[in-house]
Amino acid sequence: MYDELRRLAAHRLAGERHAHTLQPTALVHEAWRKIAGNDARVWSGREHFFAAAAEAMRRILVDRARRRLAAKRGGGAEHVDADEVDLPAPAPDDRVLAMDEALTKFALVEPRKAKLVNLKYFVGLTFEEAAEALGIAVPTAKQWMAYAHAWLRVEIQSARGEGVSPTD
């Protein structure tokens, strides 16, 4: 399981910004500390284990993004009016936090579909691996992911105050 978790962590971190300092091994170790704790846990199966690992990795990445953004936005920096400067596209940290907020809302409405997104987005499982972990067929996983993608996109855009056009 360790090698598979490390491979998945490497896949997940490949999509992060280039200057990130968290390595796959460190992410796996932090995730393991979170899910194992001081107690010897018994997993009810592959789905249970990967769901716990996905949630732990998600929390680690979100916490790191929040810390980096908090450091960027404070510390006695001079205030500059945003209307006077060109703003870059949202940083990867902003995307991780936006995804986390939207996914938290989505989980209240569609918990199993949210679990699929967790496995795909935060752990990096393939459709085949995620479908197996959830005990569903691959075509079902793809349909769920398409639905989740649309739902999350609308949620993130509305949270940013952007409109969603029918052609999007």
Q: What is the pLDDT of residues 132-167, one digit of tens each?
A: 889 999 999 999 999 999 999 999 888 877 655 544
How confident is the model over 90-114, as a mean pLDDT? 84
What single string gives the DSSP state of each residue in 78-114? PP--GGGSPPPSPPHHHHHHHHHHHHHHHHHH-HHHH
Stated pTM of the model: 0.54
How confident is the model over 89-109, as a mean pLDDT? 79
The token pair that represents 112 in the structure block: 């199993």
What pLDDT is stored for residue 86 in this prediction?
39
Lowest-confidence segment of 1-10, 16-25, 34-43, 117-126 by average pLDDT: 16-25
What pLDDT is stored for residue 165 in this prediction?
52
Q: Give the whole-angstrom CA distance, residue 130 versus residue 99.
A: 19
Please give the residue that has the higher pLDDT: either 148 or 21. 148
Please give the residue that has the higher pLDDT: either 103 or 92. 103
User: Where along the chain do its domains lie?
Assistant: 2-76+90-159
